[in-house]
Amino acid sequence: TGVKTIVEDREGNLWFGSKGGVNRYDEAQFTNFVFDDKILASTVEDRDGNLWFGKYEGGVIRYDGQQFVNFTTEDGLAGNRAIPKLLDGNGRVWIGTEAGMSRYDGEQFINFTSADGFTGFATPLAMDGKGSLWFYYGGGLGRYDRGRITTFTTRDGLPANEIRTAIEDRKGLLWFGTTAGVSRYDGQQFVNFTTEDGLSDSVVTSIVEDRDGNLWFGTRGGVSRYDGQQFVNFTTMDGLTHNYVSCILEDRKGHLWFGTWGGGVTVYDGFVFQSLLERDGLVHNTVWDLDQDQEGNIWIATQKGLTCYGPQAISPPVHLTNVAAGRNYGTVETLRIPSHQKQIFFEFQGVSFRTHQLVYVYRLEGHDEGWRQTRKNRVEYKDLPVGEYTFQVKAVDRDLNYSEEPATVSVEVYFQPVSSSIHISELNVQDVFASFYKTYADKSIGSVLVTNDDLTQIEAKLSFFIPDHMRRPTEKTILLEPQSSQIVSLHAILGKEILDLDGAIPAQAEVALSCEAEEQTISIQKSKNITVYGRGALTWDDLGKAAAFVTPEDHNVSAFSRSLFKEYRSHIKRRSIDGNIPTAMLLYEALNAHGIKYARDTSTPYSQVRGDRSAVDNIQYPGELLQSKMGDCDDCTVLYCALLENLDIPTALIDHPNHILMMFDSGITEDRYFGFSLDRDRYVEREGRFWIPVEVTKLGEGSFMEAWELGAKTCQRLQNMDELVTDVRKVWPEYPYALPSIGEEIVLPDSEELERVFVDDMEQLQMIREAFVERQYIHPLLENPGNHQRRMELAYTLIESGDFNYAISTLLNLLVTDLKAEAYYLIGFSYAKKKDFEKAVRFAEKAMEHDPENVGYRRGLEYFKGELME
């Protein structure tokens, strides 16, 4: 018959209550005691060692070891359907009945009935640490404390009025399992936990606190563990044999036993679940109660009787039977596999009388963070990264005995890429332009998209080569991250001989990607057809490219400019206020005299090719134009710039919509504005320096002064001037010039004709300046002689232009004005420039008399005195 309840007495005897009576087991034999009335599922031992058994009908039976005594309502019991459940702090037995609660104090029953607030069947639940008795009475929860009964219902905070179980935890908190969740009581209020809070099911059948202080709640939907912060649920998906958990037991090892309603028993050690079912010898799969005796045996009360289960402590051995990775390696201790091997299998077998109930726990050290478990005897790992690993496996039997030592095998995954691991997805290579061969070493000539499909980082070597044009491939080592792509720039080291190429020829650019694997090399190649353009070819996507043709060190350029400069040095250095203008004037007129002429390029006009990357233009190198003597605007511009740069005169290119314009640094700064004596529309002021624009398209038909005037007018029409200017020296690092082979020696122009036009240009410049002075100063002073500031500006103009006598006579008129201190000093300065330091000192002292705090005057006076002493 079914066993409802189990209790162990102080002698170690186990008592089992069933429908037909009571069974006692004393470790040797069972003794049966049969009663006429059926036994309820309740048994308790009092402080004197007496056992109390509840009956469906007929009260309770007390057994003192010698005889059974039956108590009924006739003896003072509140009712005859009795459940002896608890002992209070004084050792008194509390018995729940259908008519209320009875307490037996050793001599008589004290009853608590409807008159005391009881309704329905009263069931004792728990005795708390303060000595209060908690019971379920049908209409809710009751507490008996020092003669006073207090009831609690849903109105007081309970989630339901039907209470199934209760315990007091180690913190003194009371936990009640109800049909609508679990409720915690701290002496003041109820706090409820339901499925919304994480509980596995609403109906709570049992509660146990484990040795770590975790609370376990058996429900009809699994078991829930509560650590004080959150619920973790376990169901049949995790290893329970049934989700209806009827009772819970923690054994002396800390293992948890879960009795279920139809699924036998599940035992859990915190990691592995095992089970005990009818197939294993359990008398029935519906379990009502669990207990452990002094010998460690687990007694299981079921619907059809009792099972005593004695867990064994024999560790099951386990063996590796095979390792498979592409092929079977058998029972090896160590194994090396290549990285392209995508799968590895470990096969093993434990030894047990019940092999079908073995669970295996395993891990791959170096890969897994913790142990895993399986009921299969084979596990698989995929796509292991390069590295060293150790596979370990243990068998776990039904009694949760683990193998003493794991079966192990060491595995090394070494890197061995395959040709399919790396790819060249895209190859982009620009056409090569010989004149820019120097740039390709630092500036990208193209790019390649490289892909690594492997799960491991690959170190590869990428080489780039253009046969017949590169002496050797360029190489770089790249690290390709697992399953990634990266764009790699390509560079080419080309030799100077490429400048000897004329025209354009087809070529093939080749890329090779390789990597080492063990003793083999994996390599893939890809090529692209390109065009190699010879000397002088370019595209106008960047105006700065023209700087690559400005070759100041070209032999003929240097011979042309320096021979002229040497011959005409005396004319050039006559007045400092002219700066670099006479030199530029001389070189321009020398080009005219040499026969250089501008001719418009009708095939690829600059206005059409500028900004079009696909349109290829051609520029003559300066040395070539000195030979050919005919060129378009870009040819003439780079030649003129090269001549000026050879004499250390900075030049710049101006991006005009229709052609290239240029300008050069005059060498005059803004602090010499008065002496420069030119209208502002004749020059471009940049960073405090005056630049002279020149329209080189006038070569062959106009003088330097005409080219200057046309260049100045062109600049006046341009907007956002700063954005259109490219300094040659600033872009040389990006587009360095290269020197083609030396051509024939050039013949210098006729010196007499050159000197004549040069003198004419200088005279014209002087006339322009004189006209500026007349217009700016003389005429205004004639109209208004009292304009002392204008007269002072005239004096500055005369001093900076070197006309010191005229300056002195102009300043004498200011000695009776408010500007007398400045006038005295400038007269002294003019005498100093004339080397008359005695007068210079005298006038400077006068200036100090009128402005004694002027630091500039004081320093000038000290200088004049020093020169006078010498």
pLDDT at residue 319 above 60? yes
> What is the average per-residue pLDDT within 554-573?
85
> What is the average per-residue pLDDT within 826-852?
93
Among 335, 313, 334, smallest CA distance to 326 is for 335
Name the pLDDT band for 569 (thresholds 50, 70, 90).
Answer: confident
Name the pLDDT band for 60 (thresholds 50, 70, 90).
Answer: confident
Q: What is the pLDDT of residue 30?
A: 41
Domains of the chain: 318-414 (2.60.40.10), 422-533 (2.60.40.10), 537-757 (3.10.620), 784-869 (1.25.40.10)
pLDDT tens-digit readout, 219-249: 999 999 999 999 999 999 999 999 999 999 9
> What is the average per-residue pLDDT within 441-445?
92
Which tokens in the block code for residue 537? 């070819």
588 DSSP 8-state letter: H
pLDDT tens-digit readout, 148-180: 888 899 999 999 999 999 999 999 999 999 999
> What is the average per-residue pLDDT within 567-574?
73
Residue 778 CB contacts under 8 Å (≥ 6 apart), including other chains? 794
pLDDT tens-digit readout, 593-626: 999 999 987 677 776 777 676 789 999 999 999 9
pLDDT tens-digit readout, 267-280: 999 999 999 999 88
Which tokens in the block code for residue 468? 């017949």
pLDDT at residue 281 above 70? yes
Q: What is the pLDDT of residue 566?
A: 85
pLDDT at residue 84 above 90? no
Name the pLDDT band for 29 (thresholds 50, 70, 90).
Answer: very low
Name the pLDDT band for 283 (thresholds 50, 70, 90).
Answer: confident
| Share of residues in the chain with pLDDT > 90 (%) | 60
> What is the average per-residue pLDDT within 818-826?
93
pLDDT higher for 283 or 664?
664
Amino acid, res. 527 = S
> What is the average per-residue pLDDT within 188-217?
95
Name the pLDDT band for 32 (thresholds 50, 70, 90).
Answer: very low
pLDDT at residue 455 above 80? no
Name the pLDDT band for 488 (thresholds 50, 70, 90).
Answer: very high
Q: What is the pLDDT of residue 517?
A: 65
pLDDT at residue 383 above 50? yes
The CA distance from 543 to 250, in Å, is: 87
Q: Are 276 and 264 in contact (CB under 8 A)?
A: yes
| Share of residues in the chain with pLDDT > 70 (%) | 92
Q: Are 90 and 46 in contact (CB under 8 A)?
A: no
Beta bridge partners of 610: 540
Name the pLDDT band for 18 (thresholds 50, 70, 90).
Answer: low
**How confident is the prediction for the chain on average, in pLDDT?**
88
Residue 320 CB contacts under 8 Å (≥ 6 apart), including other chains? 331, 346, 347, 348, 391, 393, 407, 408, 409
For the chain, count helices (H), then strands (E).
17, 56
The CA distance from 178 to 125, in Å, is: 12
> What is the average per-residue pLDDT within 748-777?
89
Q: Are 692 and 680 in contact (CB under 8 A)?
A: no
HEC profile of 209-220 = ECCCCCEEEEEC
Q: Are 588 and 697 in contact (CB under 8 A)?
A: no
Q: What is the pLDDT of residue 34?
A: 47
Candidate from 520-534, 552-566, 605-619 with smallest mean pLDDT: 605-619
Among 263, 245, 250, smallest CA distance to 291 is for 250
Evaluated on CA atoms 257, 260, 265, 271, the torsion sign reads negative
> What is the average per-residue pLDDT within 83-101?
77
Name the pLDDT band for 457 (thresholds 50, 70, 90).
Answer: confident
Pairing of strands 630-631, 597-598: parallel
pLDDT at residue 534 above 80? yes
Pairing of strands 689-694, 684-686: antiparallel
pLDDT tens-digit readout, 718-736: 888 888 999 999 999 999 9
Q: What is the pLDDT of residue 149?
A: 84
pLDDT at residue 461 above 50? yes
Residues, the chain, total? 870
Q: What is the pLDDT of residue 28?
A: 46
